[in-house]
Amino acid sequence: MNLAAVASLRKRLEADLPVHGLWVTLDAPGVSEIAAAFGLDWVVVDAEHGHLDWGDIVAHVRSTVRSGTVCLVRVAELTPGVVKRALDVGADGIVLPRVETPEELERAVSYTRYPPAGIRGVGAERATAWGRCFAEHAADADANLMVVPIIESVAGAERIAELAQVEGVDTFFFGPADFCASAGATGQWETPAVAEQIAHCVQAVREAGKRCGVIATGAEDLARRHREGFRMLGLGLDAGLLIRSLEGMLEAAGVRRELTPSLEPRAVGTVERPLPRPPAGLRPDRSASSCALPDAEELSLGEGVMMHTLVGERTGARGLTTGIAVFEPGARLPYHRHPCGETITLLEGAVAVEVEGRRYALAPLDNVTVPRGLAHQVENVDAERPARLHVALASERPDRELVEPSWKVERMPDDSAGTAGAEHVVRHAAATRYSPGPGTEFVDHLNAELIPGIEMSGGWGRFERGGRLPAHVHDFDESICIVDGTARCVVEGRTNDLDGIATAHVPRGRVHYFENTVDAPMEMIWVYAGPMPERIVVDERCATREGSPWEPPQAKEDRP
């Protein structure tokens, strides 16, 4: 055992100081060696998920020998044999998955203790210097081995006060993603309701004189987790950190790629090889349409606030409403929440968006996305000029519920990117750009990677003269609002020039593309009724009248 490292980590935790570490999933022991060389307080070698075998695990343990880094092993299940094996290869402690009852936790602690305190078997392995130092190890292990349960279910949270009383455990880890799955929100990182439950758990654990741990999703989340009372702070997963670093460097080089289940590289949002025609299952049942701002449906949202609906139920949209909200000088839309996600982009003026007390000042083309259920308000902070915003909601019939505010207002920094697990903010001036086609420049505002659990995706795009995307289809509806310049919209051979906030609604399955045919740049706000900006590129002929994939041959022949 690395006694000095364990003692140092425990001392910092007892003093309510943070200890930083890395979650290890890759089989290269150099990952743990680098972590130890950087002086991280701990690493967790994950033997529950992934492909690590016992040879990989012991190699990671060896990488932290004679360092100041504690090496813990996350075991696959709560059985005596698995726990014993992890400790025999020299781990400084174990991380226990999905602990839900005090009885489970007490049994797991007994698996780590030699008789008579527990039932750990005697092994002549690394931990005992291959049997030569058994007496010394037995005394040190029973007193120092760390047992860290993960609370990753609603059932575990319900008994957290009892769990926190179990002897032999001084730190509890939390798994927000699995916690969400147990609450019926699989695929989300941390819903507001789950965040509240975890906050309650953290309070209960700390009141018991113990500490909590969690993996941060980024730099801002790391600071937030510390404020919330977490002290065993994971800087990330090794693979995740590597992927984010590669994405950042590729974007700096002007390349945007995404991972796929087949592990074949693919440009973000595209299919590399055009299909000769769209999949038959995407056959559309509605026609594309467009709406100019003067023709929009008007709806008063409150005193001095008017919504001009451009895409929604009346256009036949599914899972999507978009429009322009106009705020008269000083007007404020009071606190409310939606049963669906909402995304807000400032087009002109000066507004502040407040989400449960967190107040963000927006500059033109800045975006705020608010997941479903989060209370928020919008205010025009200019007493002399109106403000215009592009608004989209993930429902063709968006409802809202007024909420009485009870939050202390916190003015967020001008460069704040929002709050992890809650609202997401994109600052246009500093946002990452990428080019999905020649003569184009795009910024992503929202998608399920940026905001786990969000129901839609979208962003801003700029097209220089000649800029366009290839002919393509989506497995969801799309709204495209032209906020500057003029765009040519081509849907299966039907051409329409749009400008002045005119918005096109392209239903699921319709082959289309947009292009800029004039000298001045064109800018758009695009929103998809799907959580990822996935498009299926098809043969260019599918976007012509003659090659339209959805019309029977007779109809084409009869057309004048």
User: Contact, 36 vs 68, CB < 8 A?
Assistant: yes
Region of 412 on the Ramachandran plot (φ > 0 left; ψ -120 to 50 alpha; else beta):
beta
CA–CA gap between residue 490 and residue 497 (Å, rounded):
9
Extract the tokens encoding 31: 């990952």
Which candidate in 20, 49, 336, 445 is catalytic? 49
The Cα-based distances of 480 to 147, 323, 497 in angstroms read 53, 10, 12
Buried b (16+ CB within 10 A) or exposed e, 13-43: beeeebbbbbbbbbeebebbbebbeeebbbb
Instruction: Enumerate residues 6+ apart whose C-beta is below 8 A from 247.
Output: 256, 257
Burial class (CB in 10 A: 0-12, 13-18, 19+), 115: exposed
**Half-sphere exposure in the Cβ direction for 342 (13 Å, CA):** 24
Q: 102-111 and 80-88 helices cross at what angle (nearest 10)?
A: 40
Burial class (CB in 10 A: 0-12, 13-18, 19+), 414: exposed
CA–CA gap between residue 48 and residue 379 (Å, rounded):
48
DSSP 8-state assignment for residue 509: T
CA–CA gap between residue 488 and residue 498 (Å, rounded):
6
The Cα-based distances of 46 to 239, 436, 543 in angstroms read 12, 36, 49
Specify whether 49 is catalytic: yes
User: Contact, 163 vs 109, CB < 8 A?
Assistant: no
Helical segments of 50-101, H only: 54-63, 80-88
User: Contact, 233 vs 226, CB < 8 A?
Assistant: yes
* Residue in this structure with the two tokens 């606030």, named with its chain if needed: 305
CA–CA gap between residue 496 and residue 504 (Å, rounded):
9
User: Contact, 337 vs 374, CB < 8 A?
Assistant: yes
CA–CA gap between residue 100 and residue 380 (Å, rounded):
48
Burial class (CB in 10 A: 0-12, 13-18, 19+), 249: exposed
User: Contact, 368 vs 343, CB < 8 A?
Assistant: yes
Active site residues: 49
